[in-house]
Structure 1
Amino acid sequence: MTDLQDTSNAQVVLIVGASSGIGLATARAFAGRGAHLVLVSRSRPTLEAAAAQCRAAGAGSVRVAPADARDATAIAGIVSDLVDDHGRIDVVVHTATVMAYGQLEELPQDVFTAVVDTAVTGTLVVGQASIGLFRKQKRGTLIVVNSLVGAIVAPSMGAYATAKWAQAAMLRTWQLETRDAPRIRVCSVVPGGVDTPIYYQAANYTGTAARPPIPVDPPEKVAAAILRCADHPRDRISVGLANPITILGFRLLPKVYSALVGPLFRVGALTKTTLAPTAGNVHEPLPDSEGEHGRWPRRWDISRH
């Protein structure tokens, strides 16, 4: 049941991937505006905890809907229920993702497939349900969190790069395909390193634990960019001071990039902590390790474990 209030001014927002990291920070940010929220992720316990935070932050109403983003029937039902409750959806935010570390020749095929499928099929399912509704409403904003890795590649991140490159292509295509409806907007938010739990929730077959590359931004910074997109939609917003330089090097100086990316990745994205092979949260959620923040401050000494 929802605790409905006046919907005339408050935004109606669906957030997929709302129980942890950027999704949770975004949910709390919209709640601070008094938005009516439906929170989606795979884990009910963490969704309930997120909902409690959002109610405390001032949300107009909050409902939780446990579901996998790839489940078209479940997502369509959630969208339909939200429209039944409020008559419309103003913004859909899709942050759900899983990540894997490991060289492509060694990565288990089921892990690779799940990482790509979560990004590609999940975005397709959420996008189809959202844009289909927006066409009926004649307006609405879909905001999808992509990644710096959707514009570059790095060793041991082949699965995630494949997933995010494909997702970026899908979003750009949708931007072209909705040009006939100027009040329907599809936005891509592209962060670099962010202090969230995804790095220790990820599948990992490198032998060492992972961490975000510097500079490390707080998830609240990405959430602020998402809210800006909701207010003033843009095709693409980059979040991360190093993003433009990294992309420029990848595109314009490929030999230099290729020579440097391996050593820099080992120093900046992996730790000295040994780690047994793990599928992480790729196949099933790990509720105990979810949260808004990870284990890394905005800046950290790369010599730390």
Structure 2
Amino acid sequence: MRVKDTVAVVTGASSGIGRATAIALARAGASVVLAARNADALEQARAECEAHGADALAVPCDVADASAVEDLAAAAVERFGSLDVWVNDAAVTVFGPFSETPLEDIQRLLDVNIMGYVHGARAALPHFRRTGRGVLVNVSSVVAAVPQPYTHAYSMSKAAINALSTSLRQELALEGSSGIHICTVMPGTIDTPLFHHAANYTGREAVAMPPVYSPQRVARAIVNLVRFPRREVTVGSVPRSMVMEHKVAPGTVERAMGVMVDRAHLSRENPAGETSGNLYDAEPGDGHAEGGWHGRRRTAVRRLATAAAAGGAVVAVRQLASRQQSGRPRLDGRTINGSTFSPPRLRRSPLRRSRFGRSTLDRIRPGRSTLDRIRPGRSPLDRARREGAGALRRSRLGKPLRRPVTQRIRDIPGRLSRTRG
């Protein structure tokens, strides 16, 4: 789809990935409708979109409210006349042990992160079906494929988003709606204010776990999905490798992820009191796309990621080797009841014979021509042997020709001169 002159709705547009995406769409020529709870930060983001020459509309909205999301879609259509792109990005997070996180906080997170996406999809799809085209982008996370400790609610909400996208794609395929696309974006750790606004019950400050990628990188991926829709995109080389390694050696990656979260996601130096963050009310103040985490301890994490990848490869090789050797008792050199066992010798099967009576070993014996080896009994040498080495070749007149062809060709000028004389 061409981004220019399209109408795009972006939720969670007051800060982070949502704000960067709205600005990127505005730069690409789209008309943007921005939605979030923080009205002041939303107006600042709208002004920044208009500074790039785009038409923009700010609509304060809580995505957990289904009627508010319906009003958001109606406002977009009323202002711009159509609806082509919908980006579900609004999300909150909670850090805390499973048994110590309040149930009401978990419920609130699921209402925003899951039901907010459901409300957005239900508001956008009727407009897409009416025009026969549209792109719905659900911003998920790499933790949907590789969950983390202490973020159980956030991890399962992102896994639910992936399942929602897959289910919607299947339904649209059955309907024959080939012009409507459902895309999922799975970024790694992004430099956003999400960690500053997070609810926290761990007693330790939540920080961005490196490597940290810029929100503009995710925004570019979303704009590219609008142009060229794809099912799923993982942003960042380390998140992509983590997803692949988890499929090969899940136990190793899960242990490594637990250590990384404990050491790099929760600060050991800075304690933090219990807080519900921005779960129920938006954080006051200006919104920003960045959270001040970009470039944090890249070298250390690259070394840790390399070690995790190497460990995953070693474990994978060991698992494959154990699977191949399973069920085969290794008795070589072992003594049981006074008897020493040695590996049994394989009995050679008799050589197969070809239809001309030659063995397989004879056919592949080195020193013979390739044609003679791979086509037994059909080479010129075999035919000459069958017809007889002293067989005479005959010309058109039926006279025997005992001389080679090259010698006969050299004699042609002499025969012609004798004929003329």
TM-score of the alignment, normalized to the shorter chain, above 0.5: yes
Please report how far the alpha carbon of residue 9 of structure 1 lies from its aligned counterpart in structure 2 after TM superposition. Answer: 5.3
Moved over 6 A (4+): none
Q: Secondary structure at the match of 2:285?
A: helix
Q: Which runs of 5+ in 1 are unaligned?
A: 1-7
Higher RCO by CA contacts (8 Å cutoff, separation 6 or greater): 1
Percent identical: 33
Q: Partner residue of 1:3?
A: none
Q: Partner residue of 2:82?
A: 88
Instruction: Spell out the pairing of 1:1-305 with structure 2 (5 A cutoff).
Output: 10-59=5-54, 61-179=55-173, 180-271=176-267, 272-288=269-285, 290-300=287-297
Please report how far the alpha carbon of residue 191 of structure 1 lies from its aligned counterpart in structure 2 after TM superposition. Answer: 0.2
Please report how far the alpha carbon of residue 248 of structure 1 lies from its aligned counterpart in structure 2 after TM superposition. Answer: 2.7
Amino acid at match of 2:155: A
Q: Secondary structure at the match of 2:60?
A: coil
Q: Secondary structure at the match of 2:14?
A: coil
* Residues 290 and 302 of structure 1: CA distance in aligned 2, closer, same or farther (over 3 Å): farther
1:189-217 CA-partner distances (Å, limit 9, x unpaired): 11001000001111111111112222211
Amino acid at match of 1:286: E
1:240-269 CA-partner distances (Å, limit 9, x unpaired): 111122123333323222332222111221
CA distance in 2, matches of 1:81, 1:257: 45
Q: Is the 8 A contact 2:135 2:180 kept in 1?
A: yes
Please report how far the alpha carbon of residue 154 of structure 1 lies from its aligned counterpart in structure 2 after TM superposition. Answer: 1.2
Q: Is the 8 A contact 1:33 1:58 kept in 2?
A: no
CA distance in 2, matches of 1:201, 1:289: 13
Please report how far the alpha carbon of residue 108 of structure 1 lies from its aligned counterpart in structure 2 after TM superposition. Answer: 0.6
Amino acid at match of 1:114: R
Which stretch shows the higher mean deviation, 80-89 or 22-31? 80-89
* Residues 13 and 246 of structure 1: CA distance in aligned 2, closer, same or farther (over 3 Å): same
Please report how far the alpha carbon of residue 289 of structure 1 lies from its aligned counterpart in structure 2 after TM superposition. Answer: 6.5
* Residues 301 and 240 of structure 1: CA distance in aligned 2, closer, same or farther (over 3 Å): closer
Aligned residues: 295
* Residues 83 and 289 of structure 1: CA distance in aligned 2, closer, same or farther (over 3 Å): closer
Q: Is the 8 A contact 1:51 1:62 kept in 2?
A: yes
Q: Is the 8 A contact 1:267 1:302 kept in 2?
A: no
CA distance in 2, matches of 1:265, 1:137: 45
CA distance in 1, matches of 2:95, 2:286: 18
Q: Is the 8 A contact 1:117 1:163 kept in 2?
A: no
Q: Secondary structure at the match of 1:154?
A: coil
Query: What is the TM-score when the length of structure 1 is the normalising length?
Result: 0.92
Q: Is the 8 A contact 2:88 2:137 kept in 1?
A: yes
Q: Secondary structure at the match of 2:196?
A: helix
CA distance in 1, matches of 2:209, 2:56: 34
Q: Partner residue of 1:5?
A: none
Which stretch shows the higher mean deviation, 267-276 or 153-162? 267-276
Please report how far the alpha carbon of residue 301 of structure 1 lies from its aligned counterpart in structure 2 after TM superposition. Answer: 6.3
Amino acid at match of 1:174: L
Please report how far the alpha carbon of residue 31 of structure 1 lies from its aligned counterpart in structure 2 after TM superposition. Answer: 1.3
Q: Is the 8 A contact 1:197 1:289 kept in 2?
A: no
Q: Is the 8 A contact 2:96 2:150 kept in 1?
A: yes
* Residues 254 and 9 of structure 1: CA distance in aligned 2, closer, same or farther (over 3 Å): closer
Q: Secondary structure at the match of 2:182?
A: strand
Q: Partner residue of 1:4?
A: none
CA distance in 2, matches of 1:166, 1:200: 24
CA distance in 1, matches of 2:169, 2:209: 30
Please report how far the alpha carbon of residue 72 of structure 1 lies from its aligned counterpart in structure 2 after TM superposition. Answer: 1.6
* Residues 98 and 241 of structure 1: CA distance in aligned 2, closer, same or farther (over 3 Å): same
CA distance in 2, matches of 1:301, 1:77: 43
Query: What is the TM-score when the length of structure 2 is the normalising length?
Result: 0.67
Amino acid at match of 2:17: I
1:208-237 CA-partner distances (Å, limit 9, x unpaired): 111222221100000000000011111111
Q: CA RMSD in A?
A: 1.7
CA distance in 2, matches of 1:53, 1:287: 19
CA distance in 2, matches of 1:188, 1:151: 12
Which stretch shows the higher mean deviation, 29-38 or 227-236? 29-38
Please report how far the alpha carbon of residue 86 of structure 1 lies from its aligned counterpart in structure 2 after TM superposition. Answer: 2.2
Please report how far the alpha carbon of residue 67 of structure 1 lies from its aligned counterpart in structure 2 after TM superposition. Answer: 0.7
Which stretch shows the higher mean deviation, 258-267 or 47-56? 258-267
Amino acid at match of 2:226: A
